[in-house]
């Protein structure tokens, strides 16, 4: 069986950056690899070195990784897996803009939906703006996601008041 760094190097060289980062993030999280440890590996390829420089292991899902990668060039403060109101939010932009990403695995039952709505109400009551996107939104209609985020940023919904 190949060692994890060897597999990550192959992934870096075979897949586009975004897809490779999804796998790297998953590997860091599942294998409990610290980003500093990954950063100290003598990666042979520029692609692997680039991935090692940005992989954090904070993404809870591939959907979250895709979202954060696409938002990174915007230059806004983005934090992942932030605990607020008794639950973790997937992404916090600035101080007050919460983004929840609804993949099917954890958001498919009526009980899941109710839990999400309850948490959204608590966040809103505490002064947060909540945007919720599905897998399809992020993967198949990214321009609509960008517009929603841009509108919220233009309204300064990410700033604490």
Same domain, residue pair 41 and 105: no
Per-residue pLDDT, 131:
97
Q: Is residue 24 domain-resident?
A: yes
Q: Is residue 161 domain-resident?
A: no
- pLDDT band of residue 116 (cuts 50, 70, 90) is confident
CA distances for 79 relative to 5, 76, 85, 86, 138, angstroms: 26, 10, 16, 17, 18
Same domain, residue pair 71 and 150: yes
Q: Is residue 160 domain-resident?
A: no
Same domain, residue pair 67 and 115: yes
Per-residue pLDDT, 111:
77
Dist. CA 94–CA 43, nearest whole Å: 33
Same domain, residue pair 46 and 68: no
Same domain, residue pair 115 and 70: yes
pLDDT of 106 > 80? The answer is no
3-53 per-position pLDDT tens digit: 889 999 999 999 999 999 999 999 999 988 888 989 899 999 999 999 999
Range of the domain at 108: 62-154
Per-residue pLDDT, 104:
58
Same domain, residue pair 106 and 138: yes
Per-residue pLDDT, 6:
92
Q: Is residue 47 domain-resident?
A: yes
Q: How far is CA 106 from the centre of its chain?
A: 15
Same domain, residue pair 112 and 140: yes
Same domain, residue pair 71 and 41: no
Beta strands, E only, the chain: 78-84, 87-93, 97-102, 129-134
Per-residue pLDDT, 41:
93
pLDDT of 77 > 80? The answer is yes
Same domain, residue pair 70 and 144: yes
Same domain, residue pair 131 and 72: yes
Dist. CA 39–CA 33, nearest whole Å: 10
CATH (domain of 124): 3.40.960.10
The pTM assigned to this predicted structure is 0.86
Per-residue pLDDT, 150:
97
Positive or negative CA dihedral for 113, 114, 117, 123? Answer: negative
CA atoms within 13 A on the CB side of 62: 12
Counted domains in the chain: 2
Q: Is residue 122 domain-resident?
A: yes
């Amino acid at each position: 069986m190949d060692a994890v760094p060897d597999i990550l190097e192959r992934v870096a060289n075979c897949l586009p950056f975004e897809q490779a980062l999804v796998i790297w993030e998953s590997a860091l999280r599942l294998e409990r690899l610290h980003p500093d440890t990954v950063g100290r590996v003598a990666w042979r390829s520029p692609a692997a070195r680039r991935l090692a420089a940005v992989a954090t292991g904070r993404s809870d899902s591939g959907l979250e990784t895709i979202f954060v990668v696409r938002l990174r060039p915007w230059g806004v403060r983005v934090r992942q897996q932030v605990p607020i109101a008794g639950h973790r939010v997937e992404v916090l932009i600035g101080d007050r803009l919460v983004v929840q990403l609804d993949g099917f695995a954890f958001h498919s039952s009526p009980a899941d939906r109710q839990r999400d709505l309850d948490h959204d109400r608590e966040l809103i009551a505490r002064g947060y703006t909540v945007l919720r996107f599905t897998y399809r939104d992020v993967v198949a209609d990214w321009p609509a996601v960008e517009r929603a985020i841009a509108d919220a940023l233009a309204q300064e919904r990410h700033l604490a008041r």
